[in-house]
Amino acid sequence: MTEQEIRQLIFQLLKKIAPDTEPEKLQPDDDIRHTLEIDSFDYLQFIVAIDEQLELDIPEEDYGKIDTVKNMTNYIISKKTKKV
C-alpha cells in the first residue's frame, strides 16, 4: 500500500464517520480531531474502521502518534512493513 493509498483510505473512513466534514482538506499536520471536530466516540469508530480495513489494532497508548494525517500515515506504514 502506497502512502497515497493510505491517505485516501484515511480520508474515506473519516468521511464515512463524519459525512458532513471535508477530510480531504486536512493539511498533513492538522490535528484530525480538532480540525474536523470529531469527538472521542467517533474517533474510536474511526480507529475500529482502520482496524477492519488494515487489520491494524492500534493500542490506546499509541493514540498520540496518530493525531495528524501525516503521523497516521507514517504510523500505518511503519506498522504494516514491520508485519511483513
Partner 1 sequence: MIEFTMPSLGADMEAGTLSEWLVKAGDKVKRGDIIAVVDTQKGLIDIEVFDEGVIQKLVTKEGEKVPVGSVLALILSDKEQGNVKEEKPEISPIIEAKATEKVAVVPPARIKASPLAKKIASDQGIDLTNIKGTGEEGVITKEDVEKAIAAKEKPQEVKRAASSETIRMAIAAAMSKSNKEIPHYYLQTKIDMRNSLNWLSEANKQRSLKNRLLPVALLLKATAKALTIVPDLNAYWENGLQRKADINIGFVISLRGGGLMIPAIHDGAKKSVDEIMATLSDIIPRARVMKLRSSELSDSTITVTNLGEGSVETVFGVIYPPQVAIVGFGNISEQPWAENGMLDVRPVLSVTLAADHRATDGHIGSRFLTELNNILQNPEAI
Cell output for 70: 501525516
Interface residue with partner 1 among 3, 5, 22, 57 (CB under 8 A) is: 57
Member of 40, 81, 82, 83 binding partner 1 (CB under 8 A)? 40
CA distance 84 to 62: 20
> Considering the rule CB under 8 A, would residue 44 count as an interface residue with partner 1?
yes
- 55's torsion region: left (phi>0), alpha (psi -120 to 50) or beta? left
> Contact positions toward partner 1, by CB under 8 A?
18, 20-21, 37, 39-41, 44-45, 47-48, 51, 57-61
